[in-house]
Amino acid sequence: MGVLGVLDALPGIRRASAAEVSAPAADDRGQWVAMLSRISEPLLTALAEDQLKEKMPVEARTPKQVESRARFTHLEGFGRLLSGLAPWLELAEDNSEEGRLRKRYSDLVQRSLSNAVNPRAKDFMNFSEGSQPLVDASFLALGLLRGPRIWNQADDATKSNVVEALRRTRTIKPGFNNWLLFSALIETFFLHIGEQYDTMRIDYALRQHDQWYKGDGMYGDGPEFHWDYYNSFVIQPYIRAILSIVAVADKSYAAMQEKFDKIAGRYAVILERLVGQDGSYPAIGRSIAYRCGAFHHLASEAFHQRLPVDLNPAQVRSALAAVFQKTLGAPANFDQRGWLTLGLSGHQPGLAEDYISTGSLYLCATAFLPLGLPASNDFWFLPSEPWTAKKIWSGENMAADGALKL
């Protein structure tokens, strides 16, 4: 099924005509919505019916890993999906085709959230056994920060269960690396909703990462530099989310915020330049099975409208669209029931590390954050524009790139 055919397959959904939205938005935005819907549909419909553990396949590289990851994969899938989906659900409700689809997914998310944290539900998720729940509880909290309407519309019982579930992760010791940010993000969520929070977990994570800055827009993942996409998968989007809350509450973080804004801008430029003419990008480092989640940071900066002035939003939109087609467009990226399969561009289970299973893959949803911008925003409204690689390799004369000097 092509990406545009996904909307037709969903109950009560009709694709918008070109007259209903601007031409650029009709092409790109409609395809983004269709692809995010295709990713979201199996997981949210199953979880909303309290049937996720029954219906979701658990694929991993070996049978032994299937057994070990089955304890974690459901929270991985829901938390990571929500962290990318939530901003789109924040847009005002309307009677457009997209608006009706958002309403449907908003309803599914409320029912899914209730089941995920309800100890009496069959799909009640693991928030405390093993280390992995710290990671994906933080993605769940990130989704609630990015989509405050989800939290505000939840009933009191669900809110209480969410707080209790997140508190249980405090018994998990984070690794001395990007995992510090998972603890910090959960505490930031508590700060945001007026619950008791641990200032030290937030401050320690931020200051440690400030010390781990390596230069030219890149942080170490811990004391060492890793040539992978973890600055985009986790590190910089998390620092952005945390500082957006704590730097408002505590002005002592103003200098750190100013420094981070420069770092984040430089790394956004680097990511855009990594997108090849055909939407491919270097398949290097850990966790490449997260597919287009490698561009979480670029999508986050676009969503927050913090792209550098020399990075046109339209070229970022075009670059991300090409990445989506390259990483999600092939049929083998999904199984026959619509669940994501292990791989980068097709079914490639050999590319998955020991810690990756089906739920892990839903980090790809974070690349869709700009859907949280209305169709009237320049990101969507401006005409499509070639991204840097297409410009350079077509012979266009451009200014030279340069390193960031703080």
pLDDT of the chain, 406 residues: tens digit per residue:
333 444 455 543 333 333 333 334 458 999 999 999 999 999 999 999 999 999 999 999 999 999 999 999 999 999 999 999 999 999 988 999 999 999 999 999 999 999 999 999 999 999 999 999 999 999 999 999 999 999 999 999 999 999 999 999 999 999 999 999 999 999 999 999 999 999 999 999 999 999 999 999 999 999 999 999 999 999 999 999 999 999 999 999 999 999 999 999 999 999 999 999 999 999 999 999 999 999 999 999 999 999 999 999 999 999 999 999 999 998 899 999 999 999 999 999 999 999 999 999 999 999 999 999 999 999 999 999 999 999 999 999 999 999 999 9
Tell me, what's the pLDDT at 14?
36
Nearest-angstrom CA–CA distance, 85 and 372? 8
Half-sphere exposure of 154 (CA within 13 A, CB side): 24
**Is the distance from CB of 159 to CB of 117 less than 8 angstroms?**
no
Tell me, what's the pLDDT at 93?
84
Nearest-angstrom CA–CA distance, 158 and 154? 6
- E strand intervals along 19-155: none
């320690």: which residue's tokens? 204
Residue 335's CB is within 10 A of a number of other CB atoms, namely 15
357: exposed, middle or buried (Cβ count in 10 Å: 0-12, 13-18, 19+): buried
Pairing outcome for strands 213-215 and 218-219: antiparallel
- E strand intervals along 90-209: none
68: exposed, middle or buried (Cβ count in 10 Å: 0-12, 13-18, 19+): middle
**Is the distance from CB of 284 to CB of 228 less than 8 angstroms?**
yes
Q: What is the dihedral of CA 366, 372, 374, 378, to 10 degrees?
A: -50
pTM of the model: 0.94
Residue 138's CB is within 10 A of a number of other CB atoms, namely 28
The token pair that represents 249 in the structure block: 């509450």
pLDDT digits (tens, 9 = 90+) for 25-44: 458 999 999 999 999 999 99
Nearest-angstrom CA–CA distance, 162 and 244? 22
Tell me, what's the pLDDT at 20?
33
**Is the distance from CB of 172 to CB of 113 less than 8 angstroms?**
no
Q: Which domains does the chain have, with CATH numbers?
A: 5-393 (1.50.10)
Tell me, what's the pLDDT at 2?
38
Backbone phi and psi for residue 27, each to the nearest 5 degrees, phi listed first = -75, -65
pLDDT digits (tens, 9 = 90+) for 83-96: 999 999 999 889 99
CA-CA-CA-CA torsion sign (234, 361, 136, 42): positive
Calculate the CA 217 to chain-centre distance. Answer: 20
> By 3-state DSSP, what share of the chain in percent is helix, strand and coil, each rounded to 5?
65, 0, 35
Tell me, what's the pLDDT at 16?
34
